[in-house]
């Protein structure tokens, strides 16, 4: 009989880094354990992670906590993977930790946090944040050597800390470079923080200069205001023939777009360890992305990318034009991506399995 293993955290929708990596871990471990999932997602396709919390959000958290009380009682004395971030939702996580402790749940905490710009990363809150994680976690998973160094420097227990990078199942993205077209692809939440308005300004520049291009967008708007601004921008600048908005798509349809498109664009303003870049690598794409630290931590070691200055739409337009006009450089970048195998799911699966089995 398989050992029972709990997963606590959001699952798609919404389509985001934490929900996707939670789903991915469950997918690769489903043959090894009896998986039981507690989904914390509100199932809205549109989520603005940085808006102020409303009474409705508070009520949802209270209902979720009550449900978790029964879930923890039913699954007491087990091992649980809990996915957390450093936003205000960590207040709710504290309660889940405490309930789990009462019912002897042994937590493996997957810390999906940036190192700046979020609520619990403010200096005084950071001390509380890391103290709580230390006290309630048997093991702690971090996204990179940089994340481990940063959080351990500020008080995270290094003896409990392990590095498992975000990963993808390469088999889903297997393709031939010579079958790719020159289309551009953006994947992520359509929001200002993801650089979406920088990207549209750069597309306007290309259109104004009569550059031939087509770009696909996978992801939903973070709110109605963003949707209205983008739709108006497309209409005013006559970009309807160049821009294809697919919304939040999953599975085969999403994988096929990665396989077809040749150039991946990711102009985000700040990240932790973006999974979509690793999906682009697995699908052998040439990459254009902002020069923020999170992107460079992944890509600096490879010759498959060009950086643009973050929040600079003119520089982004120049970099897009560089790859559209230079077929040799584009091909070199694709071939470089095709040689990168270290983000495959089997590596992450083996690491996590060892950690889990120590606690069972």
Q: Which domains does the chain have, with CATH numbers?
A: 4-167+344-359 (3.40.50.2000), 170-338 (3.40.50.2000)
- So what's the pLDDT on residue 13? 77
**Residue ranges of the alpha helices (H) in 35-122?**
55-74, 90-102
Torsion over CA: 330, 180, 318, 217 (sign): negative
CA distance 207 to 37: 47
Q: What is the pTM of this model?
A: 0.89
- So what's the pLDDT on residue 15? 66
- So what's the pLDDT on residue 272? 86
CA distance 337 to 93: 37
Q: Which helix (H) or strand (E) holds 231?
A: helix 224-236
Structure tokens given for 328: 């040799």
Contact 115, 150 (CB under 8 A): yes
Contact 272, 113 (CB under 8 A): yes
Q: Which of 244, 179, 248 is nearest to 220 (CA)?
A: 248
- So what's the pLDDT on residue 51? 66
- So what's the pLDDT on residue 48? 60
- So what's the pLDDT on residue 168? 93
- So what's the pLDDT on residue 47? 57
- So what's the pLDDT on residue 185? 98
Edge-to-edge strand list for the sheet holding 184-187: 243-247, 215-218, 184-187, 263-266, 286-290, 305-308
SS (H, E, C) 275-287: HHHHHHHHCCCEE
| Rounded-to-10 torsion of CA 56, 62, 65, 66 | -120
| Rounded-to-10 torsion of CA 136, 134, 294, 259 | -30
Q: Which helix (H) or strand (E) holds 28?
A: helix 17-29
Residues of the chain with pLDDT below 50 are none
């Amino acid at each position: 009989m398989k050992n029972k293993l709990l997963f606590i955290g959001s699952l798609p929708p919404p389509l985001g880094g934490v929900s996707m990596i939670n789903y991915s871990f469950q997918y690769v471990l489903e043959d090894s354990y009896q998986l039981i999932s507690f989904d914390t997602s509100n199932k809205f396709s549109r989520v603005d992670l940085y808006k102020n919390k409303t009474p409705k959000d508070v009520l949802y958290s209270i209902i979720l906590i009550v449900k978790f009380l029964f879930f923890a009682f039913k699954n007491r004395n087990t091992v649980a993977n809990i996915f957390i971030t450093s936003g205000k939702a960590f207040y709710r996580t504290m309660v889940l930790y405490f309930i789990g402790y009462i019912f002897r749940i042994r937590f493996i905490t997957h810390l999906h946090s940036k190192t700046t710009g979020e609520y619990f990363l403010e200096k005084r809150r950071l001390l509380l944040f890391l103290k709580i994680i230390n006290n309630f976690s048997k093991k702690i998973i971090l996204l990179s050597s940089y994340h481990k160094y940063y959080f351990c420097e500020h008080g995270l227990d290094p003896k409990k800390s392990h590095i498992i990078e975000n990963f993808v199942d390469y088999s889903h993205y297997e393709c031939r470079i010579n079958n790719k077209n020159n289309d551009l692809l953006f994947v992520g939440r359509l929001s200002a923080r993801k650089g979406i308005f920088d990207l549209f300004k750069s597309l306007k520049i290309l259109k104004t200069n009569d550059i031939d291009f087509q770009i696909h967008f996978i992801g939903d708007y973070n709110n109605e205001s963003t949707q209205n601004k983008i739709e108006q921008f497309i209409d005013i600048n006559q970009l309807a023939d160049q821009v294809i908005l697919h919304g939040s798509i999953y599975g085969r349809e999403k994988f096929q777009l990665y396989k077809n498109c040749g150039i991946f664009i990711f102009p985000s303003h700040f990240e932790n360890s973006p999974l979509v870049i690793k999906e682009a690598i697995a699908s052998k794409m040439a990459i254009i992305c902002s020069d923020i630290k999170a992107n460079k931590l992944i890509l600096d070691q490879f010759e498959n990318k060009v950086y643009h200055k973050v929040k600079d739409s003119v520089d982004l337009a120049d970099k897009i034009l560089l790859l559209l006009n230079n077929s040799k450089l584009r091909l070199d970048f694709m071939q470089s991506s095709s040689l990168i195998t270290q983000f495959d799911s089997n590596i992450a699966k083996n690491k996590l399995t060892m950690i889990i089995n120590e606690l069972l």
